[in-house]
Structure 1
Amino acid sequence: MDSKPVVHKKIENKPGWQNETVFYQIYPMGFCGAPYENDGKPVSRIGKVKDWVPHLQKLNVGAVYFSPVFESDSHGYDTRDYRKIDCRLGTNEDFKEVCQALHEAGIRVVLDGVFNHVGRGFWAFQDVLKNRERSPYKDWFHINFGGNSGYNDGLWYEGWEGHFELVKLNLQNPQVVEHLLSCVGGWMEEFGIDGLRLDVAYMVDQNFMRRLHGYCRERRPDFFLLGEMIHGDYRRIMNPEMLDSVTNYECYKGLYSAFNSLNMFEIAHSLNRQFGPEGWTLYKGEHLVCFADNHDVSRIHSILTDKNQIKPLYAALYGMPGIPCLYYGSEWGAEGDKKDGDPALRPCFDAPVENDLTEFLSKLGKVKAESPALCYGDFKNETLLNKQWVIRRACQEETVLVAVNAEGSGFNVNCGHHGPAVELLSGEKRELNGCIELPPYGVKIYRLG
């Protein structure tokens, strides 16, 4: 096998590419309609993604983030083998063809790196269950042979946050680290992947993340490393030695809560705390991954009390600092409630639906990708009211105002700019005389000057 990772012709080797990119998350097991439990029956399903490429292009998506694709016990986060595509999805060759199709369309590929734990069916853990103290893999896990487990294994092991179907790996064991890195290298070579999202990165061994960073960057200087971070100081793992970005759960909550309570102050406060003009703000200059929903939470169309707010909410998502990520199906307003269980959040859709919302998101994606200010600009709350909000994003090349109206009545909101401007969603040129006219649930994005 060639030791150099694949870089397809339409994918430019450009460090920082993610900062100008709209991401799209697919949960493959649900997307493809695979059985929830691994039945061991090989069925080629993953090729379905290729049929969605034109839809992704219409949305101006630049990267697909795949939730787990490797052989697992059930939902994908309980890995059996990091080197083999799950038989319920197809073969390695099937997935390679998917990656090639995406790359040929100019869409990068990011995989879920589930390195904190494996499933009970993981080959090395099965060897420990069989051979106990004689197993050469006994130190790959945190095991007490004098204890017992809920599965009556005759030994105790550490699970992930009390879930003993997920066996915690010992990431301080050099053999474990070498195995995982060799698998990542194999993914880079075989599939040409462009990045990884680290599952539960908030608890992954930091020395392992340093090793992973060095390993990937040596092979691809533009390789993107993202971590799942739910709370705490994001810079603990988002730094030059570890990860490029993390998930912005603080603003995920602030976004839907602000619209549901008609209190734009909540999301504006979070963003000002993270990116505002004051010198003390936490993450100025960083690019966090922002989202309205994902495979672990209720879909945004189900969360919103007033469904008419969906467009201004997405406009705020694309207008705030960060890397926007859509979750498959939510671009047309699919429903899904966490109280109905995870499978309700991860359904199979026969084909993409295109409607007024997808058309709006297509325009937003184009505006985002073509605007230096929206990708890199400073952030300021220009005007902040309970139901209306104007964001100012400014860089050397341009200044952009993003104005949203969360209520069903029109409103003229102050913007502090007197002069010419171009509305980027429509292309309309007009003079702004200190205010922006917003229709009910309206959105306006102006480039000033």
Structure 2
Amino acid sequence: MTEPAWVEHVIWWQIYPLGFVGAFPADPPPAAGEHRLRRIVDWLDHAIALGASGLALGPVFASRTHGYDTTDHYAIDPRLGDDGDFDELVDQAHRRGLRVLLDGVFNHVGTEFPRYREALDGGPDHPSSAWFRRGRDGFANFEGHGELIALNHRNPAVIDYTVEVMSHWLARGADGWRLDAAYAVPDRFWSEVLPRVRERHRQAWFVGEVIHGDYAERVAAGFDSVTQYELWKAVWSSLNDANFHELDWALQRHNDFLATFAPMTFVGNHDVTRIASRLTDPRHVEHALVLLFTIGGVPSVYAGDELGYRGVKEDRAGGDDAVRPEFASPPAEDSDIFRLHKFLIGLRRRHPWLHRATSSAVQLTNEQYVYEVRRGDDALVVALNVGDEPLAVSLRRTALGRGRVVAGSGAPPAEDVDHVTVPPHGWVVVAPV
């Protein structure tokens, strides 16, 4: 493991800045003089109240549209503000004990990227042409998106450029990087880039966006972590289909990952339908959250999920807008869903060993799942019920033998019991006596 020690305790609160501050989509777009990036500062106390200890930012660098078509990796997007606004945000986050994670796109760039313009104007023999991959009909793009031009990851100049950009912003105060579309970039590129950045910034953390493929192999290229999309899918799918066998299979895979690294876990992010909209039974949002905060990994909460926001991602132009809305002022009062987030995050932070804990099934049916999560001598028992009948759990069948009920829906707290009953569509967390 190469991850810095602080990661064991981090709970990320993730935001998509361009949408969060109403900078995209917007007509006309805001100017740098509006300093919209500073609006995020107004929400930092909300993140602290939630229990988060890290702020995971989406793209903040100059781009033409949604932020993932970068035009200048060294400049803050003028729709958000300027360098001073970035410095203020990082300073205010750090004052509150929040780590800051940046979102970097080094698989592709936007069509206004200066090197690309030079390559177009100068022809195939221009030095800038070597920065980009070639396709059948000119320069290659990312997954058919003509406005996203694929970088040539074999080019030493591209490698050096990526190292310098990442190091620049870490020196400016960032604590780590989420690396977008890492799955589309050759491992050899990351194995050349990341060790050089890590040599300068020993306490930085690097997580790759990986949707499919061999997670462990990606980490071996130099990452600390990858996004755990396998588990994300299994959580909502198993709850919707009342098929906990799918979840158990995914958690066994998850255990294998935890042997070498802690994946970044989530039930929502800026690229997927919000969990409140994804689940067919609203009662089961609680179950998804219980899973997120009681299994091993590095949990991330997508801003708005803690407030019960809804939004469906659609495969069309503008299809991300519903899950990337503008945020107004922080709420004045706590809602039930916010209180549940706070409670479960508090539970997680009181048990930091959960970061690398593995889980095993104690009882498993389609509609009922009891699992023990453990690391060394530390353990919890979690019972989930999505059926219409109560779930009886004998703690004598677990390594705990007896326990105390520390959390649950409809189950009263209990200090020393050898069994618990989980109500229909309920859940319970049991700790050692």
TM-score, normalization: structure 1?
0.88
2 CA distance for matches of 1:36 and 1:121? 18
**Which residue in the other structure is 1:412 paired with?**
392
**Which position in structure 2 is the counterpart of 1:216?**
197
User: Does the 8 Å contact 1:272/1:381 carry over to 2?
Assistant: no
Q: Which stretch shifts more, 263-272 or 208-217?
A: 208-217
Question: In the aligned structure 2, how far is the partner of 1:358 from the partner of 1:328?
Answer: 11
Q: Which residue of 1 aligns with 2:163?
A: 181
Counterpart amino acid of residue 136 in structure 1: P
Task: Tell me which residue corresponds to 1:137.
Answer: 128
Q: Gapped runs of 5+ residues in structure 1?
A: 1-13, 149-155, 276-280
CA distance in 2, matches of 1:397, 1:408: 34
| Map of 1:369 onto structure 2 | 349
> Could you say which residue in structure 1 is the equivalent of 2:72?
81
For the pair 1:54 / 2:52, whether they are aligned, the reply is no
Alignment-derived partner of residue 405 in structure 2: 423
> SS where residue 36 of structure 2 aligns?
coil
Shift of 1:39: 4.7
1:349: how far off?
1.7
Partner of 1:68: 59
Query: Match for residue 232 of structure 2?
Result: 252
Aligned equivalent of 1:443: 427
Answer whether contact 1:19 1:323 (CA < 8 A) is retained: yes
1:117 matched to 2:108: yes
Q: 1:177 corresponds to which letter in structure 2? A: I
- Other structure's SS at 1:237 match: helix
Residues 309 and 407, structure 1, Cα contact 8 Å, conserved in 2: no
Deviation string for 1:152-199 (max 9, x for gaps)? Answer: xxxx11000111100011121111221221111110122x11111111
Whichever residue aligns with residue 288 of structure 2, its letter is L
Which residue of 214, 231, 234 corresponds with 2:212? Answer: 231
The residue type equivalent to 1:41 in the other structure is A
Equivalent residue for 2:31, pick from 7, 32, 41: 41
Q: Which residue of 2 aligns with 1:287?
A: 262
Contact 1:420 1:429 in 2 (8 A): no
Alpha-carbon spacing, 1:57–1:314, altered in 2? closer, same or farther (3 Å): same
Query: Which sits farther off after the overlay, 230-239 or 83-92?
Result: 230-239
Deviations 1:110-146 (A, max 9, x none): 11110000000111111222232463312111247xx
Mark the runs of 5 or more structure 2 residues left unpaired by the alignment: none
Alignment check: 8 A CA contact 1:316 1:404 kept: no
Q: CA-to-partner distance for each residue in 1:337-384, whole Å, 9 max, x for gaps?
A: 112711111111213443111111111111112214422223211222
| AA of the residue aligned to 1:224 | W
Q: Which of residues 264, 272, 283 in structure 2 aligns to 1:308?
A: 283
Paired residue type of 1:72: S
Q: Secondary structure at the match of 1:176?
A: helix
| Alignment-derived partner of residue 273 in structure 1 | 253
1:283 CA displacement: 4.7
1:282 shift after superposition: 5.4
Give CA-to-partner distance per residue, 1:67-90, whole Å, 9 cap, x none: 111000100000000000100011
> For residue 349 of structure 1, what is the aligned residue in structure 2?
327
Equivalent in the alignment of 2:16: 27
Distance 1:350 1:399 in 2: 40
Q: Secondary structure at the match of 2:265?
A: strand
Residue among 314, 323, 326 paired with 2:298: 323
Greater displacement, 164-173 / 424-433: 424-433
Distance 1:44 1:408 in 2: 52
Give me the whole-angstrom Cα distance separating, in 2, the residues matched to 1:122 and 1:63: 30
CA distance in 1, matches of 2:382, 2:200: 39
Supply the AA of the counterpart residue of 1:54: D
| Structure 2 equivalent of residue 167 of structure 1 | 149
Query: Once superposed, what is the RMSD of the aligned Cα atoms?
Result: 2.3
Q: 1:195 matched to which residue of 2? A: 176
* Distance change in 2, residues 1:380/1:162 (3 Å): same
Give the Å deviation of 1:447.
1.6
| CA distance, structure 2, for counterparts of residue 136 and residue 142 of structure 1 | 13
* 1:381 aligns to 2:361 (yes or no): yes
Q: For 1:341, what is the secondary structure of its paired residue? A: coil
Q: TM-score, normalised by structure 2?
A: 0.91
Alpha-carbon contact 1:409-1:440 (below 8 Å) kept:
yes
Q: Output the CA distance in 2 between the equivalents of 1:210 and 1:254.
A: 30
Aligned to 1:290, the other structure's residue is in SS state strand
Worse-matched range after superposition: 102-111 or 331-340: 331-340
Determine if contact 1:320/1:391 at 8 Å carries over to the other structure: no
Which residue does the alignment assign to 1:96? 87
- Indicate the SS of the match to 2:277: helix
Aligned 8 A contact 1:99 1:109 in 2: yes
More helix by share: 2
Contact 2:110–2:149 under 8 Å retained in 1: yes
In structure 2, C-alpha distance between the alignment counterparts of 1:228 and 1:395, rounded to whole Å: 27
Q: Secondary structure at the match of 2:341?
A: helix
In structure 1, give the amino acid aligned to 2:425. Answer: Y
Task: Name the CA distance, whole Å, in 2 between partners of 1:247 and 1:102.
Answer: 23
**Structure 2: distance between partners of 1:28 and 1:48:** 10
Structure 2 letter corresponding to 1:362:
K
Mark the CA change 1:423 to 1:17 in structure 2 (over 3 Å): closer, same or farther: farther
Q: Deviations over 1:176-228 (max 9, x none)?
A: 221221111110122x1111111111121222211222122212222111011
Q: Secondary structure at the match of 1:366?
A: helix
1:444 Cα deviation from its structure 2 partner: 2.1
